[in-house]
Amino acid sequence: MAINPKRRFVDLSIFLENDVLSDPPPLAPKITYQTHDETVHEFVQMLPGTTPEDFPDGEAAAAEWVTCTTHSGTHLDAPYHFHSTQDAKLGEKKPSMTIDQVPLEWCFQQGVKLDFRHLPDGHVVTAKEVEEELKRIGHELQPLDIVVVNTRAGSRYGNNDYVNAGCGMGYEATMYLLERGVRLTGTDAWSWDAPFSYTAERIRETGDKSLIWEGHKAGRDIGYCHLEKLHNLEALPATGFMISCFPHKIRGASAGWTRAVAIFDEE
């Protein structure tokens, strides 16, 4: 197969790192770095008969120990994360897929970007707003399109207000996409839903408990996946690119880390 020499890649992933807070503090990843000289004694144990002096310049291998959740960094959530069952509105409620069961074809498809950076933090996007944005960019959704949402949160990554920044996708907006064959979506915000601080305030004001994680819970009715903590979405046009976001294959897990990228095959 010929390789397009003009193929261009745009990184859509954040770093997994110690010093930039991209989660509430209790969920932050922790990376412990080992230098080449610090692992020599481990190698000596794995290679009986060797001594530290046998290694060139006294160096073995650099390595890292990482403590994190499957939702650290840029990751893909499986339907199992949202609820124990899925597809109730497709006529057969069934056990939700875990990340190792997600169809690979969902994870490499044409990308569509919805630009909601103008919407205020905490705003819950409606189906009408999705429809209007699709009309503005002149795109008719196709089955398995990967739809990513560019919010104000993308510009706040690395700042203390990142977790509470950006709009969220409500139940009806999510269902609008799923009912048209979309099975994988994404956001540059911490969560697909509006930030918890705003949701909690709305629940106090209205008493409406259906607001709890409403975008995620759409997965009960039609199973889907979404990417969270994407980055650099402002560099993308509305259409004209592929997205690759294959998740790490963790048995029975609710999510998997991914190096999400946009791919442009330019003329």
Q: Please state the three-class secondary structure of 8-52 as a single string.
A: EEEECECCCCCCCCCCCHHHCCEEEEECHHHHHHHHHHHCCCCCH
Residue 2's pLDDT band, with cuts at 50, 70 and 90, is low
Angle CA 42–27–223, to nearest 5: 110
Alpha-carbon torsion angle 103, 104, 107, 110, nearest 10: -100
In a domain, residue 207? The reply is yes
* 173 closest CA partner among 117, 214, 220, 226: 214
Output the average pLDDT for the chain: 96
Q: Within this chain, do residues 226 and 100 fall inside the same structural domain, yes or no?
A: yes
Q: Within this chain, do residues 61 and 155 fall inside the same structural domain, yes or no?
A: no
Number of folded domains that form the chain: 2
Q: Within this chain, do residues 141 and 261 fall inside the same structural domain, yes or no?
A: yes
Q: Within this chain, do residues 118 and 148 fall inside the same structural domain, yes or no?
A: yes
What is the DSSP code (8-state) at residue 230? B
Number of neighbouring beta carbons within 10 Å of residue 244: 17
Q: Within this chain, do residues 59 and 83 fall inside the same structural domain, yes or no?
A: no
CA distance 188 to 179: 23
Between the alpha carbon of residue 199 and those of residues 5, 48, 167, the distances in Å are 47, 58, 11
Q: Which domain holds residue 55?
A: 30-67
**pLDDT per residue as tens digits for the range 22-48:** 999 999 999 999 999 999 999 999 999
In a domain, residue 14? The reply is no
In a domain, residue 17? The reply is no
Which pLDDT does position 266 carry in this prediction?
81
Q: Within this chain, do residues 191 and 160 fall inside the same structural domain, yes or no?
A: yes
Given a cut of 90, is residue 3 above it in pLDDT?
no
Beta-ladder partners of 146? 111, 184
In a domain, residue 12? The reply is no
In a domain, residue 16? The reply is no
What is the DSSP code (8-state) at residue 100? G
* 169 closest CA partner among 183, 154, 150, 156: 150
With tokens 């540059």, the residue in question is: 188
The backbone torsions φ and ψ at residue 131, rounded to the nearest 5 degrees and listed phi first, read -60, -45
Q: How long a stretch of residues is the chain?
A: 267
In a domain, residue 190? The reply is yes
CA distance 82 to 94: 13
Residue 6's pLDDT band, with cuts at 50, 70 and 90, is confident
Say what the pTM is: 0.95
Q: Within this chain, do residues 93 and 57 fall inside the same structural domain, yes or no?
A: no
Q: Within this chain, do residues 63 and 79 fall inside the same structural domain, yes or no?
A: no
Which pLDDT does position 1 carry in this prediction?
61
The backbone torsions φ and ψ at residue 63, rounded to the nearest 5 degrees and listed phi first, read -155, 165
